[in-house]
């Protein structure tokens, strides 16, 4: 996620006029017709649009994210965290009597381990299916069985890819949680012991 303020070189309290001026200045140096980078030019345009939209700017200022500027992996990490936030909402224990952040981290670690185990299992299935295909001899006519086995291989490869993406999003969510700690009341800790 780029910081639109840093990218445009403006202060966080910049008004609309200053944002437009910074964009024009950035556009001059990044426009492809002037020898600039098309990607930077587009990023400047997107950054100024975001900052000129009061709702998007407010959301960015409060969260550090903008759905249109965010890296897809960042968004997936946010979705993983969003699911865990429901656990905090539904937990009836008194705030301060437990560490919800630690609980969230533990669930992420377990989810990563589970996904890695599933990937290992799927790789084993792939090896077995490939060995079956090597040993399968077709005499004549349509190759229905071979077609079905290759279809299963393709489906498993897709599942492996999805599981790897899930691990990446979960690891990103874990990194995002590293910015937080939670204060547990010492009286609550003493009661547990």
DSSP character string of 126-159: HHHHHHHHHH----SS--HHHHHHHHHHHHHHHH
Distance CA 45, CA 36 (A): 14
Q: What is the mean pLDDT of residues 39-57?
A: 93
Which residue reads 């919800």 in tokens? 100
Residue 98 host element (H or E): none
The more confidently predicted of residues 75 and 126 is 126
For the chain, what is the radius of gyration of the CA atoms?
Answer: 25
Residue 67: pLDDT band (50, 70, 90) is: confident
- What is residue 1's predicted lDDT score, i.e. its pLDDT? 66
Measured CA to CA, the distance from residue 161 to residue 166 in angstroms comes to: 9
What span, in angstroms and rounded, lies between the C-alpha atoms of 31 and 34?
Answer: 5
* Residue 32 pLDDT > 60: yes
pLDDT category of residue 191 using cuts at 50, 70 and 90: low
Distance (Å, whole) CA 78 – CA 130 = 37
Q: If pLDDT is split at 50, 70 and 90, which confidence band does 188 have?
A: low
Helical (H) or strand (E) element with 30: helix 16-30
For residue 184, the 8-state DSSP code is: P
């Amino acid at each position: 996620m780029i910081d639109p303020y840093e990218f445009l070189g403006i202060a966080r309290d910049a008004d609309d006029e200053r944002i437009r001026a910074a964009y024009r200045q950035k556009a001059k140096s990044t426009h492809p017709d002037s020898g600039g980078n098309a990607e930077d030019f587009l990023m400047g345009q997107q950054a100024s649009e975001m900052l000129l939209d009061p709702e998007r700017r407010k959301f960015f200022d409060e969260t550090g994210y903008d759905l249109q500027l965010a890296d897809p992996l960042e968004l997936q990490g946010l979705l993983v965290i969003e699911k865990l936030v429901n656990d905090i909402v539904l937990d009836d224990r008194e705030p301060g009597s437990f560490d919800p952040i630690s609980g969230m981290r533990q669930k992420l670690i377990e989810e990563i381990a589970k996904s890695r185990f599933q990937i290992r299992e799927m790789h084993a299935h792939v090896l077995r299916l490939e060995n079956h295909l090597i040993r399968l001899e077709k005499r004549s006519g349509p190759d229905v069985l071979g077609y079905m086995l290759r279809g299963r291989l393709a489906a498993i490869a897709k599942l492996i890819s999805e599981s790897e993406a899930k691990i990446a999003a979960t690891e990103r969510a874990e990194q995002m949680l590293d910015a937080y700690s939670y204060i547990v009341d010492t009286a609550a800790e003493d009661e547990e012991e």
